[in-house]
Structure 1
Amino acid sequence: MKWSAPPRLRVGLADLPQGAVDEGPGPLIGVTDSAAPAYLGPGSGHALLVAWPGTGATTVLRTLAAQYARRGTEVDILDVAGQHTWARAQQRVHLYQDAASVHRRLYQLAHQVRTERSGPARTVLVESDQTVTALLRFRHYPVPGGTGLDALTTVLAGGRLHGIRVVMACRAVPAPWGHVARDLFTTRLLAAPTPRTWHLVGPPGAPAPQEEPFRVGRMHLVGSGSDELVQLLRLTDLQAAHLAATPANAARAPRLRYRPRDRLPVTAPTASAFQLPRTQGDSRP
């Protein structure tokens, strides 16, 4: 699928061609500068987002979580920061919002990996530095290897064989993973990467990108030796909750065409799965 023109502003549902969300090989990440959709497909492996607060990492996790749930995948959100209130009461999305519950869940998943038990397809989203800090500092069991980061490393190492994918967001690569992050995460999304970040998780041997004007939601998509700039798909909390609660085969999306304007209203037929309640003054998708 190739689109007629790459959206230069924020990419929302109203910018997408027919079937862009539901008919791809996986959740839609965004649009490349060459006007092609970028997906997190079955071969993309675990994904790491390295981005400072305010650059779009939470939006990426929300957008991916909603699409995974829409496709029938179970989703665990580890969110000590409390960013994903939209996911409450969602049937396929499970929130873990304190250090103890986050660690217990990771130990359960690590045990599943160690005992080589497969389960339903599951995506684990790790939100923000507060959660990463909890993984490093909190010890549910006072034994070596008792931190949540140790359990998460086990899930990263063997989880894909048992139907588990991890998508993790942080502002810098955690120090214990400095030398193996590129191996643990096949896909990396980097917002205005520092030289250290590029050295650790950029394409091996590739020169660091030249500094460019910062734009929210614009990241380097790195994987298998490649690097491409992507403008990320943006779903609001309301859109994400609606999408997650609507199975992909419930209704066909309307034909939505890109219009290069600063404000892009959402217009959809009444029966559309994408028709969403609007809030006053909200003219962006």
Structure 2
Amino acid sequence: MPKNALPTMLSFTAPNLREQIEALPEGTALIGISTHGDAIAVDLNAECPHVLVCTATGGGSTTVLRSLTAQFLHQGAHALVLDPKRISHLWAKGLPTVTHRGNVAGIHEALVGLGDELERRQDLTDTELAAAPRLIVSVDSAYSTMRGLTRYWETFRDKDDPLVSPAVTALEAALWTGRAARVHVILDGTPAPSVLGAAPHDLFGTVVLARVSATTWQRLAPLAGPAPKRSKHRGRGHVIQHGEAHETQAIWMTNADVVTWLTDPDDPQS
């Protein structure tokens, strides 16, 4: 199939794009448009409980996290946004259904609370769980976040406490059991091997890669063939689903786009 000429930036304000996004069913979010003109989306209700995003600098990982999280929030989900740089997701501050944490102590506390929420949801009946809002756990800079949590726990851990940080344990539990609790992780980067394990594709039904090395590609998308040539286009990468790689132009949503859309969805300029 021949490739289409995609714009170098696919803005949320592009004609008909917002309408296309809002027409998606609950639990489905648009990642972008492939170079063959197909809509590339993630469906949390189907085969894909979690999303892994891994890019080199300028590859658009923060934008993908922001776009996907915002779309699920628009559908009624709640979100826990972990922002260790403290400035990557300022859009999340002040939104009523979003918990935003930046410093390591706040991230630790939030993830421990996530573990409690997972246990609570596991005790709900099917009817009660269906009525509970979907919970999106958006983790930026996962590798440095995991290292920071480990150092934090080593500093404050008592001798009778577990060796592994309960925050890291809670995130790992969300990855393995989140589907049954309507909890979904959108992860940026590669966290510690103890979280990802030996086969990341077993945990993440959708993997978004951009400007990564051949070694990283092989680790995160071993079934998708050799690493493709890196694109110079901002926001252009590959979405791997079902072992196939789709070259895709990701949606660009600014902080202002997200805040206006979520706080005033009837505003035609949002």
Query: Under a length normalisation based on structure 2, what TM-score does the superposition of the two structures give?
Result: 0.83
Asked whether the equivalents of residues 6 and 36 of structure 1 are also in contact (C-alpha less than 8 Å), the reply is no
Q: Sequence identity of aligned pairs in percent? A: 24
Counterpart residue number, 1:15: 14
Asked whether the equivalents of residues 51 and 185 of structure 2 are also in contact (C-alpha less than 8 Å), the reply is yes
Alignment of 1:36-75 (within 5 A): 36-41=38-43, 42-43=45-46, 44-75=48-79
Q: In the aligned structure 2, how far is the partner of 1:215 from the partner of 1:66?
A: 23
Structure 2 unaligned regions, length at least 5: 124-128
Counterpart residue number, 1:231: 249
Counterpart of 2:12, as a letter, is: L
Q: In the aligned structure 2, how far is the partner of 1:20 from the partner of 1:136?
A: 42
Q: Which has the higher strand share?
A: 2
Instruction: After TM superposition, give the deviation of residue 85 of structure 1 in Å.
Output: 1.2
Asked whether the equivalents of residues 146 and 191 of structure 2 are also in contact (C-alpha less than 8 Å), the reply is no
Asked whether the equivalents of residues 150 and 165 of structure 2 are also in contact (C-alpha less than 8 Å), the reply is no
Q: In the aligned structure 1, how far is the partner of 2:97 from the partner of 2:174?
A: 20
Report the secondary structure of 1:20's partner residue. helix
Instruction: After TM superposition, give the deviation of residue 65 of structure 1 in Å.
Output: 2.1
Q: In the aligned structure 1, how far is the partner of 2:259 from the partner of 2:101?
A: 17
Counterpart residue number, 1:120: 133
Structure 1 unaligned regions, length at least 5: 252-272, 277-285
Asked whether the equivalents of residues 51 and 204 of structure 2 are also in contact (C-alpha less than 8 Å), the reply is yes
Change (3 A) 1:16 1:28: farther
Report the secondary structure of 2:138's partner residue. strand
Change (3 A) 1:27 1:137: same
Counterpart of 2:135, as a letter, is: R
Report the secondary structure of 1:49's partner residue. strand
Change (3 A) 1:88 1:212: closer
Counterpart residue number, 2:147: 133
Aligned counterpart in structure 1 of residue 163 of structure 2, from 136, 141, 144: 144
Instruction: Identify the range of structure 1 (28-37 vs 107-116) with the bigger mean alpha-carbon deviation.
Output: 107-116
Counterpart residue number, 1:107: 112
Counterpart residue number, 2:186: 167
Q: For residues 41-79 of structure 1, what are the alpha-carbon distances to aligned partners after superposition, in whole Å with 9 as ceiling and x for unaligned? A: 232220001112321111111112222221111011011
Counterpart of 1:275, as a letter, is: Q
Counterpart residue number, 1:189: 208
Asked whether the equivalents of residues 79 and 96 of structure 1 are also in contact (C-alpha less than 8 Å), the reply is yes
Q: For residues 107-160 of structure 1, what are the alpha-carbon distances to aligned partners after superposition, in whole Å with 9 as ceiling and x for unaligned? A: 222233345244421101001244243234321654223253222111110011
Asked whether the equivalents of residues 78 and 98 of structure 2 are also in contact (C-alpha less than 8 Å), the reply is yes
Counterpart residue number, 2:126: none
Q: In the aligned structure 2, how far is the partner of 1:55 from the partner of 1:212?
A: 10
Instruction: Identify the range of structure 1 (135-144 vs 146-155) with the bigger mean alpha-carbon deviation.
Output: 135-144
Asked whether the equivalents of residues 191 and 219 of structure 1 are also in contact (C-alpha less than 8 Å), the reply is yes
Instruction: After TM superposition, give the deviation of residue 207 of structure 1 in Å.
Output: 2.5
Counterpart residue number, 1:24: 24
Instruction: After TM superposition, give the deviation of residue 195 of structure 1 in Å.
Output: 2.2
Query: Under a length normalisation based on structure 1, what TM-score does the superposition of the two structures give?
Result: 0.78
Asked whether the equivalents of residues 106 and 151 of structure 1 are also in contact (C-alpha less than 8 Å), the reply is yes
Q: In the aligned structure 2, how far is the partner of 1:87 from the partner of 1:212?
A: 31
Report the secondary structure of 2:10's partner residue. coil
Report the secondary structure of 1:189's partner residue. strand
Number of aligned pairs? Answer: 246
Counterpart residue number, 2:103: 98
Q: In the aligned structure 2, how far is the partner of 1:220 from the partner of 1:174?
A: 23
Q: For residues 171-226 of structure 1, what are the alpha-carbon distances to aligned partners after superposition, in whole Å with 9 as ceiling and x for unaligned? A: x453332503111111110112322222222142x431332342221111012212
Counterpart residue number, 1:257: none
Q: In the aligned structure 1, how far is the partner of 2:59 from the partner of 2:210?
A: 7
RMSD over equivalenced CA pairs, Å = 2.1
Counterpart of 1:100, as a letter, is: A
